[in-house]
Structure 1
């Protein structure tokens, strides 16, 4: 990556520039032969910009940008016909900090590598809800390493099913896409005791969704 700093990107430290170059090299290795260099770098830059305005830990920005760019590139690859046929579900809520993260956690845990789950928010928060993290930990599922993120057009277009949870009119609508709306209490600001019933209802619905998709739950 020859020009990591751009006019619309905040000044990067030497460490951040190096981290982004390293991230770009990894992405090039993963998507070589699928996307051109310009596409990969544009996705990495724009993913960085998504988090640069509100991140409280600048040193993590290159890692977040790489992870989000990888997700977006995988989604675009599926849209363009490069996929293995696995069902893909997108869980959407407002802050992508509680409900959608718990749903994605259950889906990944129960489906294994036989289906894919992504998540996003209309107004992404800054961190995963601590009560949601603890409630999921009680079920042996770690969502602490996830991070709130927005959705993008390619991510929505690549999903076979879009599950909305309280984002209302802000949820993206694409003609021909299958949508399901799950009415669930928002765990924001709630204690673990209050989040557990929401967690259990999400698990019930995820298991039902897997049955509909023909993906038997692993446990």
Structure 2
């Protein structure tokens, strides 16, 4: 589907993006491979969206270190392959916050390969639905993509365990409602761009 030059460029870009903030370089190559594969999969979907393909949802936060990661992991858990759930950040952080991982484990979710990723054009183009937390004016949503902004207060980084659970509970409620809506629809998210704040 893609030329060797394009694949090489995406791999190189992915490695470079992650290297900017990576603390442990021993795992950088496999993570870059995973990131590049996901980006190429998104690009393939954007170029040739197949009828009946699963909906693509992108969660975006400031650093892709907590809320976006939690939301994507929860949706992937509930959908069990019926949705592609991705996360990204306007400026990818150094690592996923440990408290975010802890909150997911408490819910019986132990997702592998959690790492902050920057927003790239390919994953935005592939998304049927883009959901932002925090600032949302730094992302361009394309025609045919629905955009929602979720006002879920508080980052998990500096939270107490009780506050962190409240934040994750709020995200979980929204993700559950989203999954119910997606599951009830025969086709991916709406064909016209809309902007909602809630």
TM bin, normalised by shorter chain, reads 0.7 to 0.9
- Residue pair 1:122, 1:150 contacting (<8 A) in 2 also: yes
TM-score (norm 1): 0.79
Tell me how far 1:168 sits from its aligned partner.
2.6
Which consecutive residues of structure 2, in runs of 5 or more, have no partner in the other structure? Answer: 186-198
SS of equivalent to 2:147: strand
Coordinate RMSD, CA, aligned: 1.7
1:56-93 per-residue CA deviation (whole Å, 9 max, x = no partner) reads: 21222111210110110000000111646101100011
- How many residue pairs get aligned? The number is 183
Q: Which residue of 2 aligns with 1:189?
A: 158
Which one has a larger percent helix, Structure 1 or Structure 2?
A: 1
Mapped contact 2:59–2:87 kept (Cα < 8 A): yes
Match of 2:173 in 1: 204
Q: Confirm or deny: 8 A CA contact 1:115 1:215 kept in the other structure.
A: no
Whether the 8 Å contact between 1:114 and 1:215 is mirrored in structure 2 is no
SS at structure 2 position matched to 1:126: coil
Question: Shift of the alpha carbon at 1:136?
Answer: 1.1
Q: 2:26 aligns with which of 56, 59, 79?
A: 59
Q: 2:136 aligns with which of 147, 151, 168?
A: 168
Of the candidates 70, 73, 83, which is equivalent to residue 37 of structure 2?
Answer: 70
TM-score (norm 2): 0.87
Say whether the 8 Å CA contact 1:100–1:165 is kept in structure 2: yes
Contact 2:54 2:83 in 1 (8 A): yes
Query: 1:143 Cα shift?
Result: 4.0
Give 1:90's aligned residue. Answer: 58
RCO higher in structure (CA 8 A, sep ≥6): 2
Q: What displacement does 1:171 show?
A: 2.8
Larger radius of gyration: 1
Structure 1 runs of 4+ with >3 Å offset: none
- 1:145 Cα deviation after fit: 3.1
- Return 5+ residue gaps in structure 1 as ranges: 1-33
Find 1:122's aligned residue among 90, 97, 100.
90
Does residue 1:101 correspond to 2:69, yes or no?
A: yes
